[in-house]
Structure 1
Amino acid sequence: MAGTERLASLTTYTDEARIALDTLAGRATGLLSSPSLRLGVTGLSRAGKTVFISSLVHNLIHGGRLPLFEAQKSGRISRAFLEEQPDDAVPRFQYEDHIDALVTSRVWPDSTRAISELRLTIEYESASGWNRMFSSGKLSVDIVDYPGEWLLDLPLLGKTYREFSAEAFEMAELPVRADLSAAWRKLSATIDPTAAADEMVARSLAESFSAYLKACKDDGRALSTLPPGRFLMPGDLDGSPALTFAPLPGLSDDRARAGSLLAMMERRYEAYKTHVVKPFFREHITRLDRQIVLIDAMQALNAGPGAMADLERAVMEILACFRPGRGSFLTDLFSRRIDRILVAATKADHLHHESHDRLQAIVRRLADRAIKRANFSGAEVDVLAMAAVRATREGTVKQGRETLPVIIGTPLKGETIGDEKFDGETETAIFPGDLPAKIDTVFMQDEDAPAADPALRFVRFRPPKLEKTAEGITLSLPHIRLDRALQFLIGDQLA
């Protein structure tokens, strides 16, 4: 399905009118303040959204080492600082708490559970004398952090309850999911959709369905395509009727009888779309100018080809939900378009740099296939292998006559390699292995596919101890290619 067709199915004419009015009101307010850019940061759970935002802000505020971020490298940024965010109804991204967790406690901050926002303002000198005459030399970047699981709900706007149910059971029967979904499918098979609506039956089905989705998310499977997203991250909707529904099997095209279980499920599914999914799309996604999608490919690689294929499906769904392209002065008054999208594999520090190109090639494969399914006319899309916070350093060890490239860091407590279990305090040198030269093998699911390489060892590490200068000043958070990400996402705005 082309991107324009997919987007058309997500909204009605009324929705588009509301989006246009919201955009116009926002543009009018912006005329009275400094230029701003809304940067969306998303990804599936544990992809590192919170860490990415914290490191981005920390490095800009503290003058971090960003040699490929041109405005910083050339000394044109005079200062970067946090300001009060413009949206009073959106929770603030708790930057200070997250930095304290990373720097002081050396623990990873809590994952994104809901939408949050932070305004970072950059004062700079334009590289162009002409621009210096007409520009204030000030850019406010409104960073919007939101769960990728919620983004995967957007395709539901174009699906009926019966289509959603049929797809859910089709996915549940895939080999990588069949055992996890068995209990829910067995329970569903005992239910008569035409029977009278029963709250306890609906609740039992919803709880069993949610347990299956949560099991899919565990490290052993690391699956990504798990809508409805609020079943995994309900927030203040926990226990509400809008989240007390589940797919039903073998539905016919016959109209649901009033008062039946099927009629209840259809009504609650439509309520979920109306009161949860549509407002999220209208109030947040349609207001974005730039977007970064973070991917934990390492976790999927650990879990095997089934998880990689599922991650590919999730990336395809995510990219198809954005509004890409470039507008004109007139159209921009009524509609925002995302003109740059970066798809980034995180945790590149879990590999030796010799495998970074292969990790980036895997992300390129994920993104390219998704882009072919959507109309990305006018939008720039790039891919990157990065680590927003580098938790390891590189070294070599002798093993017999061989010299092996290793990464050195402190594995999280409980991480294991073979029979060795780490205590969370001891620094260790690990040979993570090499990603395969032929990346197609990591996506192969047939019986002839080669088995996963047992030499690949991806473990999670604690945040690093920050270095200090001779004067005792703590340096900014180390990273891998955060500067490249910044240059792509906002570099042109500081030219």
Structure 2
Amino acid sequence: MTDWFSKLTPDIHHRLDNLQQSFGEILDRSMDRSVRLAVTGLSRSGKTVFITSLVHQLIHGVNSQHLPFFKIVDSDRLLGTKAQPQPDLHIPSFRYDLAVDKLSANPPDWPQPTSGISEIRLAIRYKPANPVLARFSPVNTLYVDIIDYPGEWLLDLPLLDLSYEQWSEQTAALCDKEPRLRLSNTWRTFMDGVDVTQPATDETLRKASQLFTDFLMECKKKEHGLTLLQPGRFTMPGDLKGAPLLEFCPLLRIPSNTTKSGNDFYHVMKRRYESYKEHVVRKFYREHFSRFDRQIVLADVLKAFNTGHETFQDMRTAINLVLKSFQYGKNNFFSRLLNGKIDKLLFAATKADHVTPNQLPNLERFLQLMLTEANNNVMFEGVETETVALASLQCTKAVTQQYQGQALSCIQGIQKEGDKSVAVFPGEIPADIPLPEDWVDGRFRFLDFRPPHLPNVRNGVLPHIRMDRALEFLLGDKFS
């Protein structure tokens, strides 16, 4: 009897530990003492740098002079912030320490971009603003779980509402227009030679999926800058790299007659698509996306200006499609217990230091115009939204240069491809979306910059633009 009980003891302890953790999370939610913050965005929008800066500003926020609009700091109620063991032990940790190492190196470098999901938990100790609450609980703690994942994976969410046939038709329509028409030529030529009503061979299936993946990777290159690339795992596979689950592609034309056995090319591709949706997309949505409380969507609007009208339209379509996949609505006591819904949504135009300060209002307005449809939808659900132009790490400074006897507002920094500081006039952000014919080559030329030399990073100095506004919107109400 004793031996039998001793064998069960480790399992009982494990179950009790899990129960204790679950109870703790439920208690934190019921008391509004935890927030799950999703940092989302599409490729090259600056998610990794944003999270690094956000964590850094909070950890070094006590007595900070660099967060004037973050009220808990401005009112001296922030007592300290520390990283804590994360609740989801099966998720890799966000390596804030490695990111800081990159930024503080000599010469400094950008942190490695997101290649998979990661998470970091912060415990923020503070004095409540409400005098009644302060009397009963003079010191409180807010737990913030920050979740980072590749922006490419966001693009899989809309597939949950699309059948294989619908996705194929959508992709075929995209490939009828430039630049996809040209970039997809090799894949389309191969598919034209495949009889999709005949039994599929492994070689043909593999070749078709590889050529389709090559096409997506070409679309993603900087010179094209396309965003709506589905499935997202094809360009950022993570732990699925080389898995047969990624060996499928859409069809240019859906056949009307196929074999009854279902082993033809069409049916095999369709089954693989449905399997991908079930075992990758739906699983990821269920485990992560459906549990978010607050969300920030980052967008590199300047990339669209540099690349052209097609890139702009593609980015706008992609972001609006993605945002339809999230659960939005007011968070109350019961919804928090049941994992809740997103009740605050921040749209952020990144790289605000790549334009002059007088252009920041136009940058914010332009992002608002891009996301009008999505913003109206979430506001209808009672979600509080805001748009901000920010720089997670300020790489430039505003300077004035003389040009033909006139003072010209410029920015000064080290270009990404160089090692000397230069002053440039970056151009102006239009107040309204230009017409397609106005997106002429050379009209916009916003440069990329290297991170500045930061000898005091570890002591809390990390220059930024409007990170305090982002922090106040996303977390400020939790410190009341």
Provide the TM-score with structure 1 as the length reference: 0.87
Distance 1:77 1:372 in 2: 34
Report SS of the residue matched to 1:440.
coil
Deviation (angstroms), 1:455: 5.3
Shift of 1:25: 9.8
What corresponds to 1:420 in structure 2?
A: none
Counterpart check, 1:30 vs 2:33: no
1:77 and 2:65 correspond: no
Report the CA distance shift for 1:467/1:240 in structure 2 as closer, same or farther (over 3 A).
closer
Q: 1:357 aligns with which of 361, 365, 372?
A: 361
- Structure 2 unaligned segments of length 5 or more: list them: 1-18
The CA deviation at 1:176 is 2.9
Partners of 2:405 and 2:195 lie apart in 1 by 68
Contact 1:392 1:409 in 2 (8 A): yes
Superposed CA RMSD: 2.0
Residue 412 of structure 2 contacts residue 423 of structure 2 at CA under 8 Å; is this kept in 1? Answer: yes
Q: Deviations over 1:212-257 (max 9, x none)?
A: 1111111111111111000001122122221000011210455664
Equivalent residue number for residue 199 of structure 2: 196
Cα gap change, 1:249/1:383 in structure 2, threshold over 3 Å: closer, same or farther? same
Deviations along 1:365-417, whole A, 9 cap, x unmatched? 1221223456741211111111010000010111121111111111112xxxx
Q: Distance in 2 between matches of 1:125 and 1:379?
A: 27
Tell me the equivalent position of 2:391. 387
Say if 2:240 is the partner of 1:237: yes
The gaps in structure 1 that reach 5 residues or longer are 1-23, 414-423
- In the alignment, what sits opposite 2:14? none
Give the aligned partner of residue 220 of structure 1: 223
Matched, 1:61 2:59: yes
Give runs of aligned pairs for residues 85-484 of structure 1, distance below 5 A: 85-105=86-106, 106-135=108-137, 137-252=140-255, 257=260, 258-372=262-376, 376-413=380-417, 424-437=418-431, 439-441=432-434, 444-445=435-436, 449-452=437-440, 454=442, 456-466=444-454, 474-484=459-469
**Aligned positions, number:** 453
TM-superposed deviation, 1:474: 4.4
Q: Contact (CA 8 Å) 2:258, 2:264: kept in 1 or not? A: no
Q: Alpha-carbon deviation of 1:433? A: 1.2
Cα distance change, pair 375–346 in 1 and its aligned pair in 2 (3 A) = closer
**In the aligned structure 2, how far is the partner of 1:335 from the partner of 1:53?**
23
Give the deviation of 1:133 after TM superposition.
4.0
Preserved contact between residue 66 and residue 483 of structure 1 (Cα < 8 Å): yes
Letter in 2 for 1:109: P
Measured in 2, the distance between the counterparts of 1:190 and 1:473 equals 59
Verify the 8 A CA contact 1:225 1:314 in the aligned structure 2: yes
CA contact (8 A) 1:80 1:123 kept: yes
Aligned partner of residue 104 in structure 1, secondary structure: coil
Cα deviations by residue, 1:294-315 (Å, 9 ceiling, x for unpaired): 0011111100111011111011
Specify the alignment match of 1:47 in structure 2: 45
Which residue identity lines up with residue 229 of structure 1 in the other structure?
G
For 1:60, the aligned partner's letter is L
Q: Quick check: which has more Rg, 1 or 2? A: 2
Contact 2:197–2:257 (8 Å) recurs in 1:
no
> TM-score, with normalisation over the residues of structure 2?
0.90
Q: Read off the aligned partner of 1:224 and give its amino acid letter.
A: T
